[in-house]
A = this chain, B = another copy of it.
């Protein structure tokens, strides 16, 4: 099949499919006219790529084990596990950073609210615009 149909079947944009190819994630044959020609299996391959992308993996990480995953069941591909665990650690670090930012923000908000109520009391008589 040609790239347009593959795009429709998978939901991946034509641009994205070409990008995956540029990243070495999929390698279609070429017809005589230069058009990319995909087997039916490519549908599943694109879906697999999208699945890993949705897990937050980069195309580079996916490339590191895709050759294996495409030929075996994921469970039998040892290469997947270290990528998963290192990605997991990365995500946990990001969550931690965001959680810290969140606490800081909440603290700022609390602090402002409490000081603002004091401010409102103290200036109630001149602060007629504050409502």
List residues of A whose CB falls within 8 A of some B CB.
54-56, 73-76, 78, 80-81, 84-85, 87-88, 91-92, 94-95, 98-99, 101-102, 104-106, 108-109, 111-113, 115-116, 119, 130
Contacts and interface: CB of A to CB of B under 8 A. Distances in A.
Nearest to A119: B76
B76 A108 contact: no
A84 B108 contact: yes
A109 B88 contact: yes
A80 B119 CA distance: 15
B84 A91 contact: no
A55 B105 contact: yes
A55 to B, nearest CB: 6
Contact of A91 (B74, B78, B80, B101): B101
Contact of A112 (B74, B104, B111): B74
B81 A112 contact: yes
A118 B130 CA distance: 67
Interface centre among A54, A95, A116 (most CB of B within 10 A): A95
A91 B102 contact: yes
B116 A102 contact: no
A109 B95 contact: no
